[in-house]
Amino acid sequence: MKEFSVSELPRVLSPLPVTGRFRRQPEDFRVTELTSLRHDGVEEHLYLEVEKTGQNTPWVAQQLAQCFELSLEDVSWAGMKDRHAVARQWFSLRRPGVPDSQPDIPGVRVLRRCWHSRKLRRGELTGNAFVISLCDLNGSLDLLSERLSVLGRQPVPNYFGEQRFGRNNLDQAKAWLSTQRHQRAKGFRRGLYLSVLRAWLFNLVLAGRVTDGSWNVCLQGEATELNRPTGPLWGRGRSRARCDALEREQRYLADCGTWLEALEHVGLSQDRRLLGMQASGLEWQMTQDRLRLSFSLPKGCYATMLLREICAVVEATPEYHRGG
Active-site residues, by number, are 82
Distance CA 210, CA 72 (A): 41
Distance CA 170, CA 196 (A): 6
Distance CA 127, CA 56 (A): 18
- CA angle, 253 as apex, 273 and 179 as ends, to 5°? 95
| Per-position b or e across 143-167, b if 16+ CB within 10 A of its CB | ebeebbeebeeebbbbbbbbbbbbe
Burial class (CB in 10 A: 0-12, 13-18, 19+), 54: middle
- Which of 252, 303, 243, 262 has the alpha carbon at shortest distance from 23? 303
Distance of CA 324 to the CA centre of its chain: 4
DSSP class of 28: G
CA dist., res. 317 & res. 320, Å (int): 8
* Residue 310 to residue 300: CA distance in whole angstroms: 20
Residue 276 three-state SS: strand
Q: How far apart are CA 79 and CA 314, in angstroms?
A: 25
Q: Quick one: the chain helix, strand, coil %, rounded to 5?
A: 30, 30, 40
